[in-house]
Amino acid sequence: MIEVCRTIRTRPEQIFAVLADGWSYAGWVVGAAHIRNVDDGWPAVGTRVHHRLGPWPLQIEDQTVVRAMEPNRLLELEAHAGPFGIARIRLALEPLSDTTTRVRMSWTGAAGVARLIPESVLALMLRPRNSETLYRVDDIATHRKFRTV
């Protein structure tokens, strides 16, 4: 498992509002290029964001499925990336104070090519990417107005 962590200066509700807006997915997930559709009820367990990954014209159409969700605390996703496989991503929100939240993002290869690559090599690629993902969540959560769930 590859894990990154970021402390964000806002409440868990504001951060979860970013995660709960499926249409914002391409704004914070590094590599997601376009959202094609979001299932009604996102982020309920079993709902999906249908997206494109990668640069045009080499984009892959696939989806991310919610596997577990606790409002304002936890979102577990199963991200599909075509021939590259499937990853399980866990975003856990831990309030540190009334105005600060720690977000832990863990990533595990569940199927496909990612399971064949040594974790140390994956970590070299994914820690910076996942840190950037949390940086983007931070920017959106602290600078945009979202309806909280």
Domain 2-143 has CATH 3.30.530.20: yes
How many other C-beta atoms lie within 10 A of the C-beta of residue 63?
15
Q: Which residue has the tokens 């090519």?
A: 113
pLDDT in tens, 88-101: 999 999 999 999 99
Structure confidence at residue 149 as a pLDDT band (50, 70, 90): low
CA 22, CA 122: separation in Å to the nearest integer?
A: 26
Q: Where are the domains of the chain?
A: 2-143
Helices 12-19 and 119-143, axial angle in degrees (round to 10): 110
Question: Model-level pTM?
Answer: 0.92
Query: Among 27, 16, 12, 28, which residue's Cα sits nearest to residue 94?
Result: 12
Write out the DSSP string of 61-129. EEEEEEEEEETTTEEEEEEE-GGG-EEEEEEEEEE-SSS-EEEEEEEEEEESGGGTS-HHHHHHHHHHH
pLDDT in tens, 16-34: 999 999 999 999 999 999 9
